[in-house]
Structure 1
């Protein structure tokens, strides 16, 4: 009979230990005359072979029609095949190795490694499941995400929650795996129970990570910004390209990327142009002469916006907003479906209106007037005698 270790083995608790352990014990007894190393190798090979057979049966036990009706289940089965085999192998090894002819100290170390591996595989399985479900949900989003506020909301929630879940699962998995080993478990308990300098240093080091993680969860729930929202942060205008568990990536109009920590973002004010709707109203300004016929320009503005698909068809207004000393200021309001089209529409309207003024009302462009009182106005500027200043 092989010597067994007294340490707790989670793999034995989850496995059907009685029949398998009994079979392993009988096999060890039958191989009594063989070297201990060879007996152990035979038991390991038998456990791996049994894991492969069970894995094959389980993978092919799921009916094909069910996988076709449930695409997320098909993706999950495909992604977890390798993990399932590793889990079965660890469980069976943890069940048969206590019957192997090896020293108790060696067996204890092996079981600790298998227990830690089992915990890591469980954490890996959870992360794969979260990834699979998130990818499936994101695949259902519409193609034109910029025009759909609800789609941007769901994309943001799933992306942030996926990354936050990864961080939490990773932290719990690593902590649980390390606590399997007695030396690490004792150190962890003493570290958590102590209020000394070491605990203070660890707490201060973990504070930025935890604050950003909490900020990410808060953004996913409260939705102050979403993926593809048009925002102005620190005077920089751009779109939210990606939201991770610790920072936000802003795609600026010149294709540069600005990285903003989540904790900082929630503590500082910023502008979100598309929080409730992707539609925007763009403004265009001109300074023109007092002689300009404003009603005629209103008709021309209406004609310009109707000539481009950039206009959403809702708002087109021309107003005189300022009367300055030499010019008046005109402001046009035009609506677009999203921030990118609003920018292009503003540039288009500005360009076409300048072309119209140059072609039909060149005298209405801004100019400086000079009025000479009490003197006849010459027919040609060259007739004006130059003014000579004394040296």
Structure 2
């Protein structure tokens, strides 16, 4: 009975202590966002940890020997380890959330913010995985049989590591590739990329795969090793602002300067343009037509796509309305056919000097070849007779 009262009293004191700390943190949270996040996120794991530690100590001190005492104490130890891991994980997640909140990505110049967000997200995944692995390891080491087995396991760790590495070669390769991507700045969250001939945005980066959001809201799932072994296009690696083109084929007779002025007007009237690049150039002149390339810039890939479509649409409409002669044409030169005289039997009359164009007739050599391939001339034979 004394032991039960001691356990209940320890749990009650622990709960009161936790609530006092929680109230103080909430008061501090009115002036500090970090304290507010700690009070909101760490309340439950802190309460579970303190209460379990207090109950475990009460059982150890006040409870005498009873059937199953060692099992109860061992269970409380396991719960304390799990609660402490929960508390450590919640603390680290709060700190990572604070880092993400400080570096916002919804601003025009978000290159550094996207780099930090990518690294923090990857560190969060590694942190959670490490905490889970360490917690399970510490909990297993509380069992005497497993602790004794640890020496033989460590002795054969070399062989086991080799076997495990061979068995999980692909998985480990993706994990290391994910860490490499996080800290090499090859890609970041919200980067605009072209992979597998698809244009999209990096939506999520994990230790083993990368999610690319395609422009039409499809999702392209690729292993992280793809981005370390194959070429791909990253449009926003050095800056969030990007350049894009809109190409139009017109006739050679098109005056370019009025089209260039119209492009400038379209860009200046659009809020999609960032005011930096607006250029019209002739890039090709073949097959009776010229190719006009409009090069424009925007703050991000989404705005650039809409701006390219807008420029193409406005230029086509303006050319059709003001320079209809600029529409591409197909040119051909037509000459009258020459009349060729015919013989009475309907065959073409050969020219007088066409002997050089014959093989089996005309000339001594030609007649000889004709006699070989066509037989003797019957008319010539009658004359000889």
TM range (shorter): 0.7 to 0.9
The CA distance in 1 between the partners of 2:30 and 2:301, in whole Å, is: 40
Could you tell me how far apart the structure 1 residues matched to 2:167 and 2:40 are?
39
Match of 1:246 among 204, 208, 221: 208
Distance across 2 between alignment mates of 1:41 and 1:324: 95
In structure 2, what is the equivalent of residue 77 of structure 1? 39
Match of residue 97 from structure 2: 135
Is the 8 Å Cα contact of residues 165 and 172 (structure 2) preserved in structure 1? no
* CA apart distance, 1:132: 1.2
Q: Is the 8 A contact 1:164 1:217 kept in 2?
A: no
The match for 2:250 among 277, 284, 288 is: 288
After superposition, the C-alpha distances for 1:182-221 in whole angstroms (9 at most, x for unaligned) are: 2333445433432698665544455555444433333332
Would the alpha carbon gap of residues 100 and 138 (structure 1) be closer, same or farther in structure 2, given more than 3 Å must change? same
**Among candidates 6, 19, 26, match of residue 56 of structure 1:** 19
SS in 2 for 1:269: coil
SS of 1:285's equivalent in the other structure is strand
2:225 alignment partner, SS class: helix
Q: String of CA shifts for 1:158-204, please: whole Å, max 9, x gaps.
A: 21211111111111111111111123334454334326986655444
Find 2:5's aligned residue among 36, 42, 56. Answer: 42
Mapped pair 1:279 → 2:241? yes
For 1:285 and 1:61, locate their aligned partners in 2 and report how far apart those are by CA, in whole Å: 64
Any residues of structure 2 matched to 1:91-130 within 5 Å, and which? 91-98=53-60, 99-103=62-66, 106-130=68-92
Q: Deviations over 1:324-382 (max 9, x none)?
A: 1221222221111111111111111111111112112222211212333469xxxxxxx
Normalized against structure 2, the TM-score is what?
0.79
| Structure 2 partner of 1:86 | 48
Post-superposition offset of 1:293: 0.9
Matches within 5 A, 1:121-270: 121-142=83-104, 144-145=106-107, 147-194=109-156, 202-205=164-167, 207-270=169-232
1:57 positional shift = 3.6
**Contact 1:146/1:152 (<8 A) preserved:** no
| RMSD, aligned α-carbons | 2.5
Is the partner of 1:292 in helix, strand or coil? coil
> Is contact 1:242–1:250 with CA below 8 Å preserved after alignment?
yes
Q: How far apart are 1:96 and its partner, in Å? A: 2.4
Name the SS for the 1:317 alignment partner: strand
**Equivalent in the alignment of 2:308:** 346
Alpha-carbon distance in structure 2 between the residues aligned to 1:227 and 1:57: 40
Alpha-carbon spacing, 1:173–1:186, altered in 2? closer, same or farther (3 Å): same
Aligned to 1:337: 299
TM-score, length basis structure 1 = 0.78
- In structure 2, the partner of 1:325 is 287
**Residues 372/218 of structure 1: CA separation in 2 closer, same or farther (3 Å cut):** closer
CA distance 1:212–1:70, change in 2 (3 Å): farther
- The match for 1:313 is 275
Aligned residues between the structures:
336
Tell me how far apart the structure 2 counterparts of residues 308 and 109 of structure 1 sit (CA, whole Å): 73
Q: What is the CA–CA distance in structure 1 between the aligned matches of 2:190 and 2:105, rounded to whole Å?
A: 13
Give the C-alpha shift of residue 238 in structure 1. 0.3
